[in-house]
Chain A
Amino acid sequence: MSNVTLKGSKEGFVVIINDGSDFEQALKDLKTLILKQNIGSTDDDVIQFTIKTGNRLLTKEQRKTVKTVFKNYPQIEIKDIISNVEDKQDVEELLKANKMTIETGIVRSGQKLEFEGDVLFLGVLHEGAKISTTGSMYILGQVEGIVQAGYPDNTSAAIFGNLENAAQLRIADVIEIITEDNADKLHNHQFAYIDEMHSISVDDLQDYKEVMNESRKRTV
């Protein structure tokens, strides 16, 4: 198998860099491959390439050199560089951001708990205490303090549960202060999220899917 292969697929042109090859050699072959295509006529539309590196993970410098090769030809550009493998550290971070943490126990006034990912809170959050996470917050315990989801800027995070006694709800950078006036709409089977006006709204749980689909459409 040669070091560099050009393929056409449904998604467009794909350049596969053989993961068993020497990178320097593959880079040279890539250049000749591009030259062979006789591109350069300025009339054509820009052609996009996806580069697949198989089981090889390119370092930052290697990605840069690949990109500079393409930069010499204004008619072609890189859509994406994809590898079958992931950096271990990146994977760990990804796992952390996607896991559900279960927290019990009492969070007292002046104490602050910080998490990554989603949190299922079964404990008691006292007045003056704060619980914060990067993902969504699912609350089954009593809360009288500040609940922060989607810290610092994840607007698709939501807060679920009985929140009528909470002091504040915070999602991403939006803060909702709970007063006597709005507390009664925050009883069980509700969830709080960021709506299209970028403020916190509360809805019934049965509407969750619908609301979140809307929200996702906006963020994409």
Chain B
Amino acid sequence: MGISIVVTSGKGGVGKTTTTANISSVLASLGKKVCMVDLDIGLRNLDAVLGLTNRVVYDIVDVAQNRVVLSQALVRDPRFEDNLYLLAASQFADKYVLDQDSVRRIVTYLKQRFDFVIIDCPAGIEYGFQNAVTVADGAIVVTNPELASVSDADRVVGILESMKMPITPHLIINRVRKNMINEGTSMRIDDIVNHLRIPLLGVVVDEDEVIAASNSGKTVVSDKNSDAGHSYRNIAHRMLGESIPLDIFNDTKKVGFFSRVFGRKK
């Protein structure tokens, strides 16, 4: 029996879908059987980020309304052999067609077949959010290093804690701007973690490659040179229980002694 993990944030646009896609594909490449569930009904985009849009025939609403059986609606990602599947959200129905019972039924079934069921949660804390979090065993809260996002994450963590999930919520700080951290104009990673007081799963930098990759239907983890991809790989390894030190970056390119003394100031 696998576990279900919801990727949530409260605020929109912090990178839930990107995080879902990247973590899932790393886990799949490590040999785990992973199924992604897009619960952002009406605004589906997990399939687009993975370049699977053309392959979607049936979606989660078709399954919930018993038009097809679940296995028919699962979209296999051909890049990961038999390890990565997607249950797409519906483009056409509105979010109220899904109720908690049908989501629970689907996720419970998927947990029997897969090691990880990663649920991409809609923004906000209303109907769709409630559906997504009540069926999850654990949660990943994604936040950006900015006040509004952290404040919404705090609200979400409060709701998640009151649900008493088997696994405590974990934090991913996404879209971290290296230059802003070094200049001291961004919120500090330590401050965010101290404020939210939940375990930190990883820190992902803001990179052009992330957007470029998802625009071409690839995940950034397939790019070996990308820092963000590296962070997502580390996150997936940590989820499997490996302890990998956090690469909280103070890598302002180490300047040697001589160049510090004799070198030109930047």
**Chain B, Cβ-Cβ closest to A128:** B151
Within 8 A of A (CB), among B67-87: none
Determine which residue in B158, B159, B161, B197 has the highest number of CB atoms from chain A within 10 A of its CB, and name it. B158
Q: Which residues of A contact B195 (CB under 8 A)?
A: 126
- Chain B residues with Cβ below 8 Å from A109 are 151-152, 154-155, 158
A110 in the interface, Cβ–Cβ < 8 Å? yes
Q: Does B157 contact A (CB under 8 A)?
A: yes
Q: How far apart sit A128 and B197, CA to CA, in the bound complex (Å)?
A: 16
Residues of chain B within 8 A of A126, CB atoms compared? 154, 195
A69: CB under 8 A from chain B? no
B residues at A contact (CB < 8 Å): 151-152, 154-155, 157-159, 161, 195, 197
Size class of A's contact patch? 10 to 19
22 pairs across A/B with beta carbons < 8 Å?
A106-B197, A108-B154, A108-B155, A108-B157, A108-B158, A108-B161, A109-B151, A109-B152, A109-B154, A109-B158, A110-B154, A110-B155, A110-B158, A110-B159, A111-B158, A124-B197, A126-B154, A126-B195, A127-B154, A128-B151, A128-B154, A128-B155
**Chain A residues near B158 (CB-CB < 8 A):** 108-111, 129
One digit per residue, 1 when the CB lies within 8 angstroms of any chain B CB and 0 when it does not, for chain A 59-96 equals 00000000000000000000000000000000000000
Residues in B whose Cβ lies below 8 Å from that of A111:
158
Q: Which residues of A contact B154 (CB under 8 A)?
A: 108-110, 126-128
A95 vs chain B, min Cβ distance (A):
29
A218 and B155 alpha carbons, distance in the complex (Å): 42
Bound-state Cα–Cα, A124 to B154, Å: 12
- CA A128 to CA B158, docked complex, whole Å: 11
Closest to B160 in A: A108
Expressed in whole angstroms, the Cα–Cα distance for A126 and B153 within the complex equals 12
Give 7 closest A-B pairs by Cβ, nearest first. Answer: A108-B158, A109-B154, A109-B155, A110-B155, A108-B154, A111-B158, A126-B154
A127–B197 CB distance below 8 A: no
A127 to B158, CA, bound (A): 12
Given A110-B155, A110-B159, A126-B154, 5 extra CB contacts under 8 A: A106-B197, A108-B155, A110-B154, A111-B158, A128-B154
Chain A stretch 138-161: residues in CB contact (< 8 A) with chain B: none
List A contacts of B159 (CB < 8 A).
110
Considering the chains assembled together, what is the distance between the CA atoms of A109 and B159 in angstroms?
10
Q: Which residues of A contact B157 (CB under 8 A)?
A: 108
- Chain A residue nearest in CB terms to B125: A110
Cα-based distance from A126 to B161 in the complex (angstroms): 15
Residue in B152, B154, B159 whose Cβ sees the most chain A Cβ within 10 Å? B154
How far does the alpha carbon of A126 sit from the alpha carbon of B159 in the complex, in Å?
A: 14
Q: Which of A93-122 contact B (CB under 8 A)?
A: 106, 108-111
CA gap between A159 and B151 in the complex, in Å: 25
| Cα A110 to Cα B10 with chains together (Å) | 12
Q: Which residue from chain A places its CB closest to the CB of B161 in the assembled complex?
A: A108
Give A126 to B195 CA distance when docked, in angstroms: 8
Please give me the residue from chain B that is nearest to A126 by CB atom. Answer: B154
Q: Which residue of A lies closest to B10 (CB)?
A: A109
Residues of B within 8 A of A124 (CB): 197
For residue A92, give the distance in angstroms from its CB to the closest CB of chain B. 28
List the B residue with the shortest CB-CB distance to A110: B155
Kindly provide the distance from the CB of B89 to the nearest chain A CB, expressed in whole angstroms.
26
Q: Give A106's nearest chain B residue, CB to CB.
A: B197
Nearest Cβ in chain B — how far from A193, in angstroms? 30
Distance of A173 Cα from B232 Cα, bound (Å): 50
CA distance A108 to B158 in the complex (A): 5
- B59 CB to nearest A CB, Å: 32
Task: Give the distance in Å from the alpha carbon of A220 to the alpha carbon of B161 in the complex.
Answer: 46
B152 contacts across to A, CB distance below 8 A: 109
Report Cα–Cα, A111/B156, bound state, in Å. 10
Q: How far is the CB of A174 from chain B (nearest CB, A)?
A: 26
Q: What is the CA–CA distance of A128 and B159 in the complex, to the nearest angstrom?
A: 14
The distance from the CB of B196 to the nearest CB of chain A, in whole angstroms, is: 9
A127 to B187, CA, bound (A): 15
Residues of B within 8 A of A108 (CB): 154-155, 157-158, 161
Question: Inside 8 A of A128's CB, which chain B residues have their CB?
Answer: 151, 154-155
* Closest A residue, CB atoms, query B198: A106
